[in-house]
Structure 1
Amino acid sequence: MNVDLFDFELPNERIALRPVKPRDAARMLVADGTAEIADRHVRDLPQMLRAGDVLVFNDTRVIPAQLEGQRGEARIGATLHKRIDLRRWQAFVRNAKRLRPGDVISFPAGVSATAEQRFEDGSWTLAFSGDEPVEVLLERAGRMPLPPYIAGKRPTDEADRSDYQTMFATRDGAVAAPTASLHFTPDLVERLDAAGIGRETLTLHVGAGTFLPVKAEDTADHRMHAEWGRIDADTAARLNAVRQKGGRVIAVGTTSLRLLESAAQDDKQIAPFEGDTAIFITPGYRFRAIDGLMTNFHLPRSTLFMLVSALMGRERMQSIYAHAIEREYRFYSYGDSSLLIP
């Protein structure tokens, strides 16, 4: 499909630079398979779902994966996006033309890394020096990797250390937040529990590739960056049991959805999964694992807008986004939410 079909005009003032407080006070657009659209709030979620439904969250934790350093006199910026092994990460590098294999980049707080190999997409393998875990080094020298549409408008600050982390974050490894889960609070979770709505977690370590623009003119020519994920056998079994009993599996965020669909079999059963996924969902895809999606509002021409267009229909999503823009919903990572049930 032509990528231009997934374009739309978004006024800059619709881009949220900070989250609302409390988190569940964010607005939530609700759309189903009809032409109706409802304007609600995230705190209304228990009334929007049914007892027996289950919400599936991503429990990945964002690490401070942005680094600013130097190679000699050259300033080098690095955003880690995928772990290779205990000491090596694949990273997008700013000012990469000043790097050669074997160059050592010095970062703050005594942290350094060697640029080992350049990939076809322009990213590099960085091998960190010393014996301390890389996560410890990043806590000392790194910044939270806010997406460019926020970081380009204001500096990262201490508030982002907590704002850009979900209440479910327990497993280090993401360089972008599963932002749909940012809206949840302990109070909201208690009310969901009281309403008989279940919760499950999986892990997908979101990479910085999620923010890369689609440069191809046709979706068939775009290649997704791989991300590591895991669904254990017990979780898969419980999710299958939910659907067998008539409940719905609602993915909280496109990251949860992509991993669930990666694990789904032809018979719509969810199997245990551990490994990389580069699944790219566009209109025409037949969903096997999920019955709905809670997600924020995405960039024009992005793989995530293509995903929600696959779920609801491209023309329907264009109409939903036009409604959201007109009603002044807040967009992107710190923005408002939507509940999409086809």
Structure 2
Amino acid sequence: MKVKDFNFELPDKLIAQEPIEPRDESRLMVINREKKEIEGRIFKEVIDYFEAGDTLVRNNTKVIPARLFGYKEKTGGKVEFLLLNQVELDRWETLVKANGKVKVGTRVVFGNGELVAEVKAKTDFGGRVVEFEYTGVFEEILDKLGNMPLPPYITKELEETDKYQTVYAKKRGAAAAPTAGLHFTDQLLDEIKTKGVNIVDITLHVGLGTFRPVKVDDIEDHDMHSEYYEVSQKAAEMINQTKEQGKKVISVGTTSTRTLETVANEDGTVKAEKGWTDIFIYPGYKFKAVDALITNFHLPQSTLLMLISAFASQELALKAYRQAVAEEYRFYSFGDGMLIL
């Protein structure tokens, strides 16, 4: 299967630069897989498609100020880090931009020396493993020196960084937001609970695996980067109870979907587990746990669009995307939402 088969024309003007306020007033495209029908709604009306006993599964990861600007200790050359994964206590996988090479052994200083990183190894994706030195609490230093890692296609500075967090963000560790969840407000979530829908939190710390571009011609040749996930016993029990009762498991976002499918058994039940996943979902994949999916509109030729195409069918997904372009839906992180039933 070719990557080019997931291409579509996307005008730059459709790339959302800031979120809609209030969050749940964005547009919602609803796709019915069985009837092959597409309709337009407002996101807060997503509740109309939920029933008592259904379970909404959301990713409670929280974006950290993962972008750091520093300089080489010896030469003063500028260096930019994007923290991806915490592999040990003070060791992180990072993406690096710099004037010149950043070799193993290079020391990078941030702020007034409150934080220093030494490059320990190169990674197979072109990044670096670094070890930080500091005095005090790392999270507090990062909050002081770090910047919110907004995607490169968002060129407008975000005045309120909380707008790039879900209202239920809890567990720090992500390098990017699980953006399908940005549409939910506290009020909408309360209404969903009142309707009798269960809400379950799982965690996947969004990293390179989610937004790494596909640079191969054949999909099967693409390697996903691992991301850390957690599914609690309580969450697994609720999801399995939902399955037993014949109700829907509704996944909020591709990150929740990848996590659920990672821990799913063949019968659709899931197990409590924590670890690292590099699951890559594309057409031909048989979904086991997820019955409905809430997502955003994604990049052409991206792994996210491939996952959507696996869930909705490639033909229906691309038809919906062409319609979204024609009707000027807003794309990407701050864009409009999609519900696939």
User: TM-score of the superposition, structure 1-length normalised?
Assistant: 0.96
Contact 1:69 1:105 in 2 (8 A): yes
1-structure distance, mates of 2:338, 2:116? 42
8 A contact 1:86–1:133 mirrored in 2: no
**Counterpart residue number, 1:143:** 147
Percentage of identical aligned residues: 41
Distance 2:329 2:340 in 1: 15
- The answer as to 2:257 corresponding to 1:253 is no
Q: Determine helix, strand or coil for the equivalent of 2:330.
A: coil
For residue 62 of structure 1, report the CA deviation from its aligned partner.
Answer: 0.5
Candidates 101, 106, 109, aligned match of 1:106: 109
The alpha-carbon deviation at position 52 of structure 1 amounts to 1.5
Q: Tell me, in whole angstroms, the C-alpha distance in 2 between the residues paired with 1:195 and 1:64.
A: 36
Helix, strand or coil at the partner of 1:144:
coil
What's the CA shift string for 1:95-133, capped at 9, x where partnerless?
274212111111125322111111122100111112433
CA shift, 1:48, in A, is: 1.9
2:76 paired residue number: 73
Contact 1:18/1:334 (8 A) holds in 2: yes
The count of aligned residue pairs is 337
- What is the one-letter code of the residue matched to 2:62? R
Per-residue deviation at 1:69?
1.1
In the TM superposition, 1:221-232 aligns within 5 A as 221-232=221-232
The equivalent of 1:118 in structure 2 is: 122
Q: Deviations over 1:50-79 (max 9, x none)?
A: 222111010111000001111123111110
Give the match for residue 165 of structure 1: 165
Unaligned runs of 5+ in 1: none
Distance 1:107 1:288 in 2: 45
Q: Distance in 2 between matches of 1:320 and 1:134?
A: 44
Distance of 1:275 and 1:294 partners within structure 2: 24
Q: Is the 8 A contact 1:86 1:134 kept in 2?
A: no
- 1:176 paired with 2:176, answer yes
Unaligned runs of 5+ in 2: none
Does 2:135 align with 1:134? Answer: no
Would you say the 8 A contact 1:62–1:173 is kept in 2? yes
* Cα distance between partner residues in 1 of 2:99 and 2:141: 22
Q: Does structure 2 conserve the Cα–Cα contact (< 8 Å) formed by 1:329 and 1:336?
A: yes
Match of 2:214 in 1: 214
Q: How does 1:1-342 map to 2 (within 5 A)?
A: 1-33=1-33, 34-71=35-72, 72-95=75-98, 97-109=100-112, 110-150=114-154, 153-155=155-157, 157-159=158-160, 161-341=161-341
Distance 2:124 2:246 in 1: 46
User: Contact 2:243/2:268 (CA < 8 Å) preserved in 1?
Assistant: no
**TM superposition outliers: structure 1 runs of 4+ over 4 Å:** none
Separation in structure 2 between the aligned mates of residue 166 and residue 120 of structure 1, nearest angstrom: 31
C-alpha RMSD of matched pairs (Å): 1.2
For residues 78 and 100 of structure 2, the distance between their equivalents in structure 1, rounded to whole angstroms, comes to 11
The answer to whether the 8 A contact 1:63-1:172 is kept is yes
Deviation at 1:210, TM superposition (A): 2.1
Judge conservation of contact 1:115–1:126 (CA < 8 Å) in 2. yes
Q: Distance in 2 between matches of 1:96 and 1:264?
A: 45
Secondary structure of 2:300's partner?
A: coil
